[in-house]
């Protein structure tokens, strides 16, 4: 979205929050030139009416900011509940996950996705597995493998100061960052920790949709909680190896973990379970080591630690990442969308505002 701000205003609408307020409103924060974060705030007693309320708030946003020509960009089909009445110049479905396969996904999600696929102009997918299924559901589906901010994560290749909550953890360190949920291979982590008690496994990220008590509590496993995007390089910089610990189940069948190229940009060897998109995009090129058990993970991790300055591997990694940079991805997307269609609607409202129905 930051690339879009060079050409037009961007209003990023977040999921609604339940707030201690009497009247629903939109909190609109101008966080950068041409970029606004829009958060619907609803009182608890009006949750059942959220579809109609948010629809009205969005309509008021359009009027207040004089939004007349625009692109509707969807990350989740559930946003159709609040926006089906809009008339965009282009309608894009940026499909990064098969959300209906996730635990506790809304019952109506498949219905909303069907509606979105029938109305959108094109579909972008973040991985080949999703591309293969979506290409049978829409006439204009395009594959854009996960792009990343290379400069941000490559800062981890320098020796960055160890964060305070990681500083006292002994080496060697293997790390993972991301949501710890039903996709996470709990058993694999526990087996590795048991077999290598002198290795230390660092887990960054929130624990959601699973019972925290179900996670192994070995002394060499460290759950450091959620970190900000800006903090991640300082943690990764002080690991030996980065891990992708996804179980093979319905929730991971179509995922294409963005953390894969982020780990690689940080210059860290990566060992992953055989997630289809990781194998196809990185495993077959020997950019990521694929392992199927605790035993094979341990072998792959040890191999990586025995060769920490593999320059041939790093050169291949950088060539691969350069081919999928955000700038190249943006240029391809902009060409497909026909970005010139939307230029010229740039009236500014730089202050933060609240919008009520």
Q: Does pLDDT of 348 surpass 90? A: no
Mention the CATH class of domain 4-146+325-342: alpha beta
User: Two tokens at 8?
Assistant: 């037009």
pLDDT tens column, 209-260: 999 999 999 999 999 999 999 999 999 999 999 999 999 988 888 999 999 9
Match 């903090």 to its residue by tokens: 231
Distance CA 297, CA 309 (A): 20
Distance CA 126, CA 62 (A): 29
Peptide bond into 172 cis (omega under 30): yes
User: Two tokens at 306?
Assistant: 């025995």
Percent of the chain surpassing pLDDT 90? 75
Candidate from 63-77, 95-109, 113-127, 274-288 with smallest mean pLDDT: 95-109
Q: Which of 6-10, 24-28, 126-130, 243-247 has the highest mean pLDDT?
A: 243-247
pLDDT for 357: 47
Fold adopted by 150-321: Rossmann fold (3.40.50)
User: Two tokens at 343?
Assistant: 């230029």
Bridge-partner residues for 268, per DSSP?
none
- Under DSSP, the state recorded for 16 is P
Other beta carbons within 10 angstroms of residue 141's beta carbon come to 20
Domain limits of the chain? 4-146+325-342, 150-321
Q: Does pLDDT of 282 surpass 50? A: yes
Distance CA 116, CA 138 (A): 10
Distance CA 316, CA 211 (A): 40
Distance CA 325, CA 320 (A): 9
The answer to whether 325 touches 154, Cβ cutoff 8 Å, is no
The answer to whether 86 touches 61, Cβ cutoff 8 Å, is no
pLDDT tens column, 176-221: 999 999 999 999 999 999 999 999 999 999 999 999 999 999 999 9
Bridge pairing between strands 25-32 and 353-356: antiparallel
Residue range 28-35: average pLDDT?
93
Pick left, alpha or beta for residue 233 (phi over 0 → left; psi -120 to 50 → alpha; otherwise beta): alpha
Is 150-321 in the same CATH topology as 4-146+325-342? yes
233: nearest Cα among 183, 257, 268, 273: 268
User: Two tokens at 101?
Assistant: 């396969």
Distance CA 13, CA 30 (A): 12
| pLDDT, the chain, mean | 91
The answer to whether 57 touches 26, Cβ cutoff 8 Å, is yes
235: nearest Cα among 155, 162, 151: 162
Sequence-distant (≥ 6) Cβ neighbours of residue 34 within 8 angstroms = 5, 6, 8, 9, 10, 346
156: nearest Cα among 170, 136, 137, 177: 177
Candidate from 57-61, 285-289, 309-313 with smallest mean pLDDT: 309-313
Match 């780990």 to its residue by tokens: 263
pLDDT for 354: 55
> How far from 62 is each of 59, 68, 225, 251, 333, CA to CA, in Å?
5, 7, 38, 36, 24
pLDDT tens column, 54-99: 999 999 999 999 999 999 999 999 999 999 999 999 999 999 877 7
Residue 56 vs residue 349, higher pLDDT:
56
Residue range 337-354: average pLDDT?
58
Q: Does pLDDT of 350 surpass 90? A: no
- In 3-state terms, what secondary structure has residue 18? strand
- Rounded to a whole number of angstroms, the CA Rg of the chain reads 22
């Amino acid at each position: 979205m930051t690339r879009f701000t060079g050409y037009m205003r961007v209003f990023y609408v977040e999921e609604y929050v339940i707030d201690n307020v009497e009247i629903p409103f939109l909190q609109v924060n101008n966080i950068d030139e041409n970029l606004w974060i829009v958060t619907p705030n609803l009182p608890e007693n009006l949750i059942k009416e959220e579809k109609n309320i948010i629809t009205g708030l969005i309509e008021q946003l359009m009027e207040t900011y004089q939004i007349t020509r625009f692109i509707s960009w969807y990350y989740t089909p559930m946003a159709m509940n609040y926006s089906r009445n809009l008339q965009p110049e282009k309608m894009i479905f940026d499909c990064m996950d098969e959300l209906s396969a996730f635990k506790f996904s809304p019952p109506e999600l498949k219905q909303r996705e069907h509606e979105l696929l029938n109305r959108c102009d094109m579909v972008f997918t973040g991985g080949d597995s999703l591309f293969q299924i979506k290409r049978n559901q829409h006439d204009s589906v395009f594959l854009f493998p996960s792009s990343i901010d290379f400069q941000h994560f490559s800062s981890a290749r320098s020796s960055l100061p160890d964060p305070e909550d990681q500083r006292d953890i002994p080496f060697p360190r293997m790390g993972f960052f991301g949501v710890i949920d039903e996709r996470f291979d709990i058993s694999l982590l526990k087996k590795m920790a048991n077999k290598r008690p002198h290795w230390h496994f660092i887990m960054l990220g929130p624990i959601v949709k699973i019972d925290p008590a179900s996670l192994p509590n070995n002394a060499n496993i460290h759950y450091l909680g959620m970190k900000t995007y800006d903090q991640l390089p300082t943690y990764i910089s002080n690991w030996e190896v980065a891990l992708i610990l996804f179980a093979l189940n319905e929730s991971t069948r179509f995922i294409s973990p963005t953390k894969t190229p982020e780990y690689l940009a940080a210059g860290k060897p990566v060992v992953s379970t055989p997630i289809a998109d990781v194998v196809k995009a990185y495993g077959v090129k020997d950019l990521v080591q694929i392992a199927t058990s605790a035993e094979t993970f341990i072998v792959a991790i040890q191999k990586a630690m025995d060769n920490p300055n593999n320059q041939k591997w790093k050169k291949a990694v950088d060539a691969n990442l350069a081919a999928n940079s955000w700038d190249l991805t943006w240029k391809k997307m902009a060409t497909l969308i026909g970005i010139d269609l939307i230029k010229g609607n740039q009236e500014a409202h730089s202050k933060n505002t609240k919008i009520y129905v």
